């Protein structure tokens, strides 16, 4: 069929395409007119073809199982958390991401949960060896598929302090790993880097260096932890697809060096950095493209984010809308019908390669000069992220990065002062810390503060 259709058509080289484009530009500069510059440092051309695809580049892996639609549940009252969990599963959630600030009654939270039907993600904002052992024991008896997501380095980066101290934190994690070598215990929280303003090359390099700290430490203890990566996805659609694919490429290279399983588990969350409180319904459009990027990039699970999550407490309507966005993509838009659908796309393959190579180069710089923890303690990671975030903020302030309804076509009649249930701005808690914490910060915060002050 291919010969019948195309045997009479001559192939066109990239050089010939460019020559024709330059003719059509009628004297306008090709590079200034059609080459897109971005903060990742990758110049994007107006077209890509086979010549841009390096088939010899390391092969991109892709999850064998279909992606799961995940919903967040915060554990405060155990009975309420259990009710919300059962309701979410009954309404289509395929995974639950539990967050808690304190110990809870395990049996109450997981009462009647159909463990064979869902995946469980645990996100505890404290470190207790005894409680983790109780949790692991209970969920193991239920034959549940669980990802415990312990990330002591991620807590240091976000909070500025260890849970207790370096030695004790590592000792607790080591003890848990020793008794549960086959469990998914350790995670890398890369959402912090994206939400704080790091570009994609930095996100990938820091994630890899972050992971290497664990692998290097535990390899000396004859332990091989299975890693889970938590990533935040923004609205730079094709780049975000390539970012997740690049993360798998990079982890494959790292895993080979340690002789461990080259597969990694990725759970994706929509970015908070581009979400707004004014014209908040636009957040629905933003999260939709972010879900799509995560799916096409190959995330194992995608967690929903309510359109009003940054300023409203958890509510049934917002949670339902967020969950249904994922279910519509899966069941009505057929985003679960193909395995690795982006493979062979010259543009995405090129972006994947560029992000992988740039991130690998930065990773090697970090490792050759002491490693991730050293750079974190010296403030280098924080400084680099703030520099990139400042550049992105300037582009937003100049209108070169657009958030519709906020810095372009705002509805001046919108009023939000009386609708804020949560504090939606960067939270700074002055206290003594071991290192400078990495702080999440949304692009629209200054505009929103000014508008709130001007509301009557």
pLDDT tens sequence across 238-251:
999 999 999 999 99
User: Any idea what the CATH number is for the domain that residue 194 is in?
Assistant: 3.20.20.240
- 152, part of any domain: yes
**Can you give the pLDDT at residue 59?**
62
**Can you give the pLDDT at residue 1?**
47
**Structural domain boundaries, residue 275:** 68-351
- Per the structure, the count of domains in the chain is 1
Whole-number Å distance between alpha carbons of 291 and 325: 8
> What is the CB-side half-sphere exposure of residue 407 using CA atoms within 13 A?
18
- 238, part of any domain: yes
- 226, part of any domain: yes
- 117, part of any domain: yes
- In the predicted model, residues of the chain with pLDDT beneath 70 are 1-8, 54-60, 456
10 Å Cβ neighbour count for 76?
13
Would residue 22 be called left, alpha or beta, if left means φ above 0 and alpha means ψ between -120 and 50 degrees?
Answer: alpha
Lookup: tokens for 94? 């395929």
- 60, part of any domain: no
**Can you give the pLDDT at residue 322?**
96
pLDDT, tens only, 249-259: 999 999 999 99
Q: Are the C-beta atoms of residues 122 and 98 closer than 8 Å to each other? A: yes
- 380, part of any domain: no
- 360, part of any domain: no
pLDDT, tens only, 303-329: 999 999 999 999 999 999 999 999 999
**Can you give the pLDDT at residue 272?**
97
Whole-number Å distance between alpha carbons of 279 and 307: 10
Angle, helices 237-258/282-297, rounded to nearest 10 degrees? 40
**Can you give the pLDDT at residue 430?**
83
- 196, part of any domain: yes
């Amino acid at each position: 069929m291919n010969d019948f259709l195309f045997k009479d058509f001559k192939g066109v080289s990239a050089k010939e395409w460019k020559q024709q484009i330059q003719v059509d530009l009628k004297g306008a500069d090709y590079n200034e007119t059609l080459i897109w510059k971005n903060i990742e440092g990758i110049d994007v051309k107006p077209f890509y073809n086979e010549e841009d695809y390096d088939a010899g580049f390391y092969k991109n892996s892709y999850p064998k199982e279909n992606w799961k639609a995940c919903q967040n549940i915060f554990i405060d009252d155990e009975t309420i958390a259990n009710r919300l969990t059962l309701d979410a599963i009954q309404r289509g959630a395929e995974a639950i991401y539990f967050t808690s600030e304190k110990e809870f009654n395990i049996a109450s939270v997981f009462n009647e949960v159909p463990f064979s039907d869902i995946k469980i993600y645990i996100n505890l904002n404290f470190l207790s060896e005894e409680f983790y052992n109780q949790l692991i024991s209970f969920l193991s008896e239920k034959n549940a598929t669980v990802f415990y997501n312990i990330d002591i380095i991620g807590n240091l980066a976000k909070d500025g302090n260890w849970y207790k101290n370096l030695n004790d934190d590592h000792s607790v994690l080591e003890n848990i790993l020793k008794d549960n070598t086959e469990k998914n215990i350790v995670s890398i929280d890369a959402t912090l880097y994206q939400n704080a303003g790091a570009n994609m090359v930095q996100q990938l390099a820091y994630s890899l260096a972050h992971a290497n700290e664990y692998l290097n430490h535990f390899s000396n203890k004859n332990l091989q932890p299975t890693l889970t990566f938590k990533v935040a996805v923004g609205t730079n659609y094709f780049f975000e697809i390539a970012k997740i694919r690049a993360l798998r490429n990079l982890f494959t290279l790292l895993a080979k060096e340690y002789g461990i399983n080259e597969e990694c588990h990725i759970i994706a969350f929509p970015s908070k950095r581009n979400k707004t409180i004014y014209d908040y319904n636009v957040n629905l459009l933003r999260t939709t493209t972010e879900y799509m990027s995560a799916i096409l990039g190959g995330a194992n699970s995608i967690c929903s984010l309510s359109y009003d999550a940054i300023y409203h407490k958890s509510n049934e309507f917002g949670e339902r809308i967020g969950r249904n966005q994922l279910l519509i993509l899966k069941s009505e838009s057929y985003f679960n019908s193909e395995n690795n659908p982006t493979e062979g796309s010259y543009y995405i393959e090129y972006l994947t390669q560029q992000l992988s190579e740039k991130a690998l180069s930065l990773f090697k710089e970090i490792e050759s000069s002491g490693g991730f923890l050293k750079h974190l303690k010296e403030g280098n990671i924080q400084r680099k992220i703030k520099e990139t975030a400042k550049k992105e903020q300037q582009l937003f302030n100049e209108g070169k990065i657009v958030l519709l309804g906020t810095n372009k076509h705002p509805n001046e009649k919108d009023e939000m002062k009386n609708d804020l249930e949560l504090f939606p701005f960067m939270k700074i808690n002055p206290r003594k810390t071991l290192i400078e914490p990495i702080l999440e910060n949304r692009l629209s915060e200054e505009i929103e503060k000014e508008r709130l002050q001007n509301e009557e």
